[in-house]
């Protein structure tokens, strides 16, 4: 919790500095520090106690002192000094889509708007349009954006964004109004949630392309319509069935600027700042239109040209977070990241024997249709009562059924396993003599989420050391927007998994995404083998592998480091 608290403080300091118009790079250092703390696998209190705070990437002496101040006193005096300059609700205004620090400063200082309620009241009374840079349309957009903030619709699950992106690109291609079209932004970088969706296109007839975009199914409002940019609000149902809306921007680029636009609008902001700084040192200017020497464009038609101009190898979008990838690209040491076609099977698949929706044969056939070499059936053990867990006898009784399926197929293998609950002391829900009869065992926590960190860590370490456990499932148990992660010393868990030869999972369920990319990268660096699984409860869920692989790529994983990208015989050796 301290990690999250300090990350929030740093993020707010960055916002306050931006509103006050302070040095951009100072603000950026606080933003980077906040992200590092959010993804840190160690407890920051331990780092303070051991004098290792300055070992956190991106944390210099000044920031380390502020972290130490908060851990030891519960306060950061600098934060308090800045906060005293603002009314309590001003920072909440930044949650409103379309309001950046400069506009928030104007609203606050010229209209006395200090929170979401006064902003809403001012917009409803048409007071905003009196201020330079605000008009009637802006007022309407702000009122809608306030509703979105209050409804908690600021972010969209990656799986839902993918359906939106795929639907848009397929329809636009089918309509033949665009020559090229591709998604950019945080979606292309495979972030686990996205804000707006950015679509880039090249079109001979820009007006026709924009009109086709405005007529797409689900569009409930056109927010902006121009020759180079069209913005719509689109209604969709998320993967859990709830009705939501999202802003989608279409930017129509010149062919000569396609690569520059794709690189620029993919981001991340930190990555792009590093590239622009490198360009400036070479006497060049780099932006969304290309790389320029004086007024002459020397690159921009392809992304590769944008990077090669700076003597860099092309960097996969998922790596573009300014986490060291640029240095690797400069020295030819970028890893060859795992790709979706590398995946040969999925271990974490449920059937209607527990809480899945389809029978074993249907899930097997769905996996076979995906071109896999194997599928692992891993229904819940008996203690997962909410999921209708199976008794040991029921779990073993399916062996003959699986053997029959395997006899019928020469090019596909069904592995019979279990998602077995980890009990209080780290014991497994099934006895060892049952576990050893199964092809593989996924050990997962489904209860006692609030145990103290030391107890929870010891519980999981004991489980992964069981010689019959092969994979640790959804290790932190977090569910995005619903349940936070359990208190866990992940470094100790990673060490235990690496030593015991137990793989650790990236669970690609859109609400889980567990491990996240930062944690998976730390697991890789600790020597762990990673298994990317979907936790499917229906055959349609198998497509989530795309997002698990995206997370693996964000973690810089290669196929050699992903268990289910290995040949089946090598997998069997690992399981044995």
Examine the pLDDT at 128 and tell me if it is beyond 60: yes
Residue 232 has pLDDT above 90, yes or no: yes
- The four Cα atoms 282, 286, 290, 296 give a dihedral, to 10 degrees, of -50
Residue 150 has pLDDT above 70, yes or no: no
Q: Which residue has the tokens 């490198």?
A: 278
User: Per-residue pLDDT tens for 552-561?
Assistant: 999 999 999 9
Summarize pLDDT for 367-380 with one digit per residue, the tens.
999 999 999 999 99
Q: Burial of 163 by CB count in 10 Å (0-12 exposed, 13-18 middle, 19+ buried)?
A: middle
Cα separation, 426 vs 155, in Å, equals 36
In three state form, how does the secondary structure of 381-428 look? ECCCHHHCCECHHHHHCCHHHHHHHHHHCCCCEEEEEEEEEECCCCCE
Would you give the DSSP letter of residue 539?
Answer: G
In tens, the pLDDT along 267-301 reads: 999 999 999 999 999 999 999 999 999 999 999 99
Using DSSP bridges, classify how beta strands 296-299 and 197-202 pair: parallel, antiparallel or unpaired: unpaired
What is the percent of the chain where pLDDT is above 70?
96
Per-residue confidence band for 1, with pLDDT thresholds at 50, 70 and 90: low
> Distance (Å, rounded) from C-alpha 312 to C-alpha 208?
37
Q: Of 39-43, 143-147, 160-164, 483-487, which gets the smallest average pLDDT?
A: 39-43
pTM, full prediction: 0.78
Pairing of strands 180-183, 219-225: unpaired
Mean local confidence (pLDDT), 348-370: 93
Tens of pLDDT, residues 407-430: 998 899 999 999 999 999 999 999
Strand partners, 229: 251
Cβ contact 237:244 at 8 Å: yes
Residue 354 has pLDDT above 80, yes or no: yes
How many Cβ atoms from other residues are within 10 Å of residue 240's Cβ?
A: 10
- The predicted structure's pLDDT at residue 483: 73
Helices (H), 282-324: 303-308
**What is residue 46's predicted lDDT score, i.e. its pLDDT?**
87
Mean pLDDT over each residue of the chain, to the nearest integer: 92
Walk me through the domains of the chain, giving residue ranges and CATH numbers.
2-83 (1.10.150.110), 90-151 (1.10.150.20), 156-251 (3.30.460.10), 257-330 (3.30.210.10), 340-575 (3.20.20.140)
Whether pLDDT at 41 is above 70: no
Cα separation, 384 vs 535, in Å, equals: 15
């Amino acid at each position: 919790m301290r990690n999250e608290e300090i990350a929030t403080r740093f993020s707010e300091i960055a916002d306050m500095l931006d509103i006050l118009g302070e040095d951009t790079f100072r603000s950026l250092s606080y933003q980077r520090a906040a992200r590092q703390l959010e993804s840190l696998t160690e407890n920051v209190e331990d780092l303070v106690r051991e004098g290792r705070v300055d070992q956190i990437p991106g944390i210099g002496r000044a920031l380390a002192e502020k972290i130490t101040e908060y851990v030891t006193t519960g306060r950061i005096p600098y934060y308090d000094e800045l906060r005293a300059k603002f009314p309590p609700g001003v920072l909440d205004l930044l949650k409103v889509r379309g309001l950046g620090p400069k506009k928030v400063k104007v609203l606050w200082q010229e209209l006395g708007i200090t929170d979401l309620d006064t902003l809403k009241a001012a917009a409803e009374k048409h007071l905003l349009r009196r201020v330079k840079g605000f008009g009637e349309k802006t007022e309407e957009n702000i009122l809608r954006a306030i509703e979105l903030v209050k409804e908690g619709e600021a972010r969209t699950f990656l799986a839902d964004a993918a359906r939106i992106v795929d639907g848009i690109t397929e329809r636009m291609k089918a309509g033949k109004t665009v020559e090229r079209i591709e998604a950019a932004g945080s979606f292309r970088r495979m972030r686990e949630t996205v804000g707006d969706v950015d679509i880039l296109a090249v079109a001979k007839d820009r007006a026709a392309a924009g009109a086709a975009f405005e007529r797409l199914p689900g569009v409930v409002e056109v927010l902006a319509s121009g020759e180079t940019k069209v913005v719509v609000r689109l209604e969709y149902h998320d993967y859990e069935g709830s009705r939501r809306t999202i802003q989608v921007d279409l930017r129509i680029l010149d062919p000569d600027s396609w690569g520059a636009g794709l690189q620029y609008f993919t981001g991340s902001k930190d990555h792009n700042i590093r590239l622009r700084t490198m360009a400036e040192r070479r006497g060049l200017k780099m932006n969304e239109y290309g790389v320029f020497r004086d007024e002459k464009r020397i690159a921009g038609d392809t992304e590769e040209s944008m990077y090669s101009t700076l003597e860099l190898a092309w960097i996969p979008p998922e790596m573009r977070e300014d986490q060291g990838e640029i240095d690797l690209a400069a020295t030819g040491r970028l890893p060859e990241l795992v790709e979706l076609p590398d995946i040969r099977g999925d271990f974490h698949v449920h059937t209607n024997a527990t809480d899945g929706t389809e029978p074993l044969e249907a899930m097997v056939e769905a996996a076979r249709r995906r071109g896999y070499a194997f599928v692992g059936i891993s229904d819940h053990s008996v203690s997962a009562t909410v999921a209708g867990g199976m008794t040991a006898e029921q779990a073993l009784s399916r062996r003959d059924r699986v053997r029959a399926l395997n006899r019928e197929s020469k090019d596909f293998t069904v592995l019979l396993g279990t998602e077995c609950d980890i009990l209080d002391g780290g014991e497994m829900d099934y006895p060892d003599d049952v576990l050893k009869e199964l092809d593989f065992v996924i050990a997962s926590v489904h209860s006692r989420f609030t145990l103290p960190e030391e107890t929870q860590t010891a519980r999981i370490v004991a489980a992964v050391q069981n010689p019959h456990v092969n994979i640790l499932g959804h290790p932190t148990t977090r569910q995005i927007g619903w349940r936070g992660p359990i208190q866990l010393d992940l470094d100790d868990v990673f060490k235990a998994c690496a030593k015991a030869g137990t793989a650790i999972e990236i669970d690609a369920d859109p609400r889980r995404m567990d491990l996240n990319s930062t944690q998976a990268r730390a697991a890789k660096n600790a020597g762990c083998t990673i298994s990317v699984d979907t936790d499917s409860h229906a055959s349609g869920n198998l497509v989530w592998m795309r997002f698990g692989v995206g997370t693996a790529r964000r973690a810089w994983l290669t196929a050699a480091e992903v268990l289910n990208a290995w040949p089946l015989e090598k997998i069997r050796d690992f399981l044995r």
